[in-house]
């Protein structure tokens, strides 16, 4: 016989449902902190980032970028024989190290570190959720095996008898893995390189980098002719059909538009990239850190990425030389756009401010 619950039960149930709805609208991006590295003088970018984050219900904190000319030689670790890197390179390096230093100093469990000119899709939280599941498939032990075995048979490092190419892991049919204990993205990652200008799939002859890929049909990815990269080739465009997203381990990453670290890896980066030799741009040293290459060899670390990346460069209307405080982007004028993102937050600012749902798809499908 069913009885009507007392009023208190109704109140508890109603409160629980309300809290769940609030959590869904404001659910976190699964990092304890988000930092944005930004020169204080770039008030235009700070305004844009503050507004985009507010429209996305994202909380972040600025980390002041650094003018490299203000950093004396004795504040740099050992420099290469060819001398001190350029001031813009030194400034960008120090800005990112300041963010990583904060992760260590505050003992944060994890942090997402972004450049101040990035943009993201309005569906970012769903994308991060899917990336977390892909990360499980690549790095979490399989459930019920009794010993650590993985869907990617080349993980954690390939053996001499490992195949050079593996069958893809389908996102919709990922194996059951042991639930992570420390992070929604898994327990073993050192960096999640979520914003880049180009990335390769792991090379077949790599002796350190696992070869596994998680392949997903994803309508947030534009058709192939819209994909862009500064790499010498576009692996995703050349190997997969329209609307495909691939999660894999880092190989030849370019641009540190957005990446996540945890407390363990932040300490390693502060030592490896902050206290050893500075002989390249920060994104190159992050690549060396991940791949276990470079001079000095920084040892292999477990870094994951996705193609296309979730964070992309937003280009404002006006002179092209406004695009960067580090490198020359040429002369002439440009129209406002964000590469690769379909429902960009910054390109839909007015609609989001007005509460409209008629968002503009920058890269709609064509027959």
Residue 16: per-residue pLDDT = 40
What does the longest C-alpha to C-alpha distance in the chain come to? 85
pLDDT for 19 equals 38
Asked if residue 320 lies in contact with residue 331, where contact means CB atoms within 8 angstroms, the answer is yes
Q: Which helix (H) or strand (E) holds 214?
A: strand 213-217
Q: How many CB atoms lie within 10 A of CB 64?
A: 14
Return the structure tokens found at 333: 């004028």
Residue showing tokens 């990583």:
100
Cα 94 to Cα 107: distance, rounded to the nearest angstrom: 20
Interatomic CA distance for residues 264 and 270, integer angstroms = 10
HSE value, Cβ hemisphere, 13 Å, CA-based, for 9:
4
Residue 235 and residue 307 in contact, taking contact as beta carbons nearer than 8 Å: yes
Per-residue pLDDT of the chain (367 residues), as tens digits, is 333 344 444 344 444 434 333 333 444 468 999 999 999 999 999 999 999 999 999 999 999 999 999 999 999 987 666 789 999 999 999 999 999 999 999 999 999 999 999 999 999 999 999 999 999 999 999 999 888 999 999 999 999 999 999 999 999 999 999 999 999 999 999 999 999 999 999 999 999 999 999 999 999 999 999 999 998 889 999 999 999 999 999 999 999 999 999 999 999 999 999 999 898 999 999 999 999 999 888 899 999 999 999 999 999 987 766 655 555 556 678 899 999 999 999 999 999 999 999 999 999 999 7
Determine the pLDDT at residue 188: 94
The domains located in the chain, with CATH, are 33-313 (3.90.550)
Q: Among 272, 161, 155, which Cα is nearest to 202's?
A: 155
Report pLDDT for 4.
35
Q: Rounded to an integer, what distance in angstroms lies between the CA atom of residue 111 and that of residue 290?
A: 17
Q: Model-level pTM greater than 0.85?
A: yes
């Amino acid at each position: 016989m069913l009885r009507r619950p007392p009023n208190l039960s109704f109140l508890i149930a109603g409160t629980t449902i309300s809290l769940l709805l609030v959590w869904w609208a404001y659910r976190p991006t699964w990092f304890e902190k988000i930092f944005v590295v930004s020169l204080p003088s770039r008030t235009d970018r700070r305004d844009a980032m503050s507004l985009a984050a507010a429209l996305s219900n994202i909380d972040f904190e600025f980390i002041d970028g650094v003018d490299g000319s203000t950093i004396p030689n004795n504040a740099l670790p050992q420099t290469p024989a060819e001398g001190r890197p350029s001031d813009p390179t030194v400034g960008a390096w120090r800005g990112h190290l300041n963010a990583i230093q904060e992760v260590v100093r505050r003992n944060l469990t994890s942090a997402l570190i972004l450049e101040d000119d990035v943009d993201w899709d309005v569906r970012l939280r769903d994308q991060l959720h899917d990336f977390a599941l892909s990360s499980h498939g690549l790095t979490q032990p399989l459930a019920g095996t009794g010993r650590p075995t993985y869907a990617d048979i080349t993980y954690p490092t390939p053996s001499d008898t490992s195949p050079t190419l593996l069958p893809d892991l389908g996102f919709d049919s990922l194996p059951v893995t042991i639930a992570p204990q420390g992070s929604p993205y898994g327990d073993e990652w050192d960096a999640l390189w979520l914003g880049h200008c180009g990335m390769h799939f792991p090379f077949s002859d790599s002796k350190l980098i696992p070869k596994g890929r998680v392949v997903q049909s994803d309508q947030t990815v534009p058709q192939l002719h819209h994909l862009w990269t500064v790499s010498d080739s576009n692996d995703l465009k050349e190997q997969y059909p329209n609307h495909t997203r691939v999660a894999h381990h880092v190989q030849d990453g370019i641009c540190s538009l957005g990446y996540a670290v945890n407390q363990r890896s932040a300490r390693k980066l502060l030592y490896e990239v902050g206290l050893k030799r500075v002989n390249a741009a920060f994104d190159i040293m992050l690549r060396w850190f991940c791949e276990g290459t470079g001079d000095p060899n920084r040892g292999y670390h477990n870094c994951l990425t996705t193609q296309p990346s979730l964070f992309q460069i937003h280009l404002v209307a006006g002179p092209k030389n406004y695009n960067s405080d580090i490198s020359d982007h040429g002369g002439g004028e440009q129209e406002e756009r964000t590469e690769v993102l379909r429902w960009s937050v910054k390109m839909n600012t007015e609609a989001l401010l007005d509460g409209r749902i008629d968002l503009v798809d920058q890269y709609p499908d064509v027959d």
